Amino acid sequence: MFIRKKPSWQISENEVTPEGVYLNRRKFMMGAAATVGAVGSAAAVHQLANAATERTLMPLKHSKSAFDPSETLTPYEAVTQYNNFYEFGTDKSDPAEHAWRLNPKPWEIKVEGMAEITGTFALEDVIDFSALEERIYRLRCVEGWSMVIPWVGVPLASVLKKFSPSADARYVAFETLADRKQMPGVRGFLSSLDWPYREGLRMDEAMNELAFLAVGLYGKELPNQNGAPVRLVVPWKYGFKSIKSIVKIAFVKSEPTATWNQMQPNEYGFYSNVNPEVDHPRWSQRTERRIGEFGKRKTLMFNGYEEQVAQLYAGMDLKKYY
């Protein structure tokens, strides 16, 4: 008899926070927020409107295959209100305040480079929405804070294989939308940044079982401020590698441009693997602050996913290739 062995990161579904418990709390919070005063800024009005829309969305249909929720999930409010998404501003609250301008439907992704199938495709032709699954991953920001988030999406490998990349394609490059009308940060203080935001992975990294394309979180559609309608999630790397609002995927032979690595290569390496032994030039990476907790916890090598990804870097000097 064939017995399927679960991966080390997978746990029983009974350990995942029931969606009904979360939704009841969310409705209570939304009702409370709505009573905090009838008069507010335009941004606050937009936030409340967005929240009301979230509440009425139908839950995404997906299978639950939870990853690493032996640690407490970060509350939905924190996940959606504390973000880095510079296209909408540099403060942590800016994305939630301004991302209502983003229109994630319809959405297209351009696929180009060294592959048999290229062109511009509707999101629904790139992501198989009938095969969604839930993965609970740690997220570690290079700034020293972290979260635990239940994402909904599909393995990145399953998407890339659809386009039949050639054997010469050694990397996968990604680009974020850069629309001055929808994204005030593109025309604001950081207008000098080399937009669009770009990132990349080595092909074997992209094909690793942990690499994930998310279209939702907490069983709901991905909020704009979290990278709607589709974002990359690479849990063993610092968060800025998990590029948001993807509009282009390219199969290339040479290491692609990565925005922060291009701007400040001495601070942000191309690989950007979570490594407590390699400090950022301006702060230590040995500990992290988990959002919602007091104090700090030790940072784990590869963010706790060493068993799944260490073989990708066998023989590499991880202080040189940081």
Does 150 map to a domain? Answer: yes
pLDDT of residue 61: 72
**Which pLDDT score, from 0 to 100, does residue 200 have?**
98
In a domain, 162, yes or no: yes
Query: How far is 176 from 178, CA to CA, in rounded Å?
Result: 6
CB 281, CB 266: distance < 8 Å: yes
Which of residues 70 and 1 earns the better pLDDT score?
A: 70
Residues 6+ apart with CB under 8 A from 198: 173, 174, 175, 176, 243, 256, 257, 258, 259, 262
| Domain CATH number, residue 270 | 3.90.420.10
What is the pLDDT, as a whole number, of residue 69? 56
Rounded to whole angstroms, how far apart are CA atoms 189 and 86? 10
In a domain, 6, yes or no: no
pLDDT band at 7 (very low <50, low <70, confident <90, very high): low
- The arithmetic mean of pLDDT across residues 295-311, rounded, is 96
In this structure, what token pair is assigned to residue 113? 């480079």
67 pLDDT higher than 90: no
pLDDT in tens, 25-53: 333 333 333 333 333 344 433 443 344 34
Q: Is the pLDDT of residue 10 over 80?
A: no
pLDDT on residue 103: 97
Q: Element (H or E) spanning 249, and its range?
A: strand 246-252
Domain count for the chain: 1
How far is residue 286's CA from residue 300's CA, in Å, rounded to a whole number? 8
**Residue 318 domain flag:** no
**Residue that wins the pLDDT comparison between 56 and 253:** 253
Whether the CB-CB separation of 270 and 200 falls below 8 Å is answered with yes
Distances from the Cα of 58 to the Cαs of 23, 53, 180, 317, in angstroms?
A: 12, 10, 30, 47
CA 227 to chain centre: 7
Q: What are the DSSP calls for 142-209, one per residue?
A: TTSEEEEEEEEEEEHHHHHGGG-B-TT--EEEEEE---TTT-HHHHSTTTTS-SSPEEEEEHHHHTST
Model confidence pLDDT, tens digit, residues 114-163 = 999 999 999 999 999 999 999 999 999 999 999 999 999 999 999 999 99
pTM of the model: 0.84
What's the pLDDT at 3? 31
pLDDT of residue 2: 29
Burial (CB count within 10 angstroms: exposed 0-12, middle 13-18, buried 19+), residue 117: exposed
3-state secondary structure of 68: coil
* Structural domain of 39: 13-313
pLDDT digits (tens, 9 = 90+) for 160-216: 999 999 999 999 999 999 999 999 999 866 566 789 999 999 999 999 999 999 999
Q: Is residue 321 part of a domain?
A: no
Residue at 319 is within a domain: no
Q: Is the pLDDT of residue 62 over 60?
A: yes
Looking at residue 59, what is its pLDDT?
Answer: 64
What's the pLDDT score for residue 189? 62
Can you give the pLDDT at residue 193? 78
Is 7 a domain residue?
no
CB 193 within 8 A of CB 110: no
- Residue 109: the pLDDT is 98
Size of the chain, expressed as the number of residues it contains: 322
- Cα(first)–Cα(last) distance of the chain, in Å? 45
3 belongs to a structural domain: no
Given phi > 0 = left and psi -120 to 50 = alpha, else beta, which region is 315? left
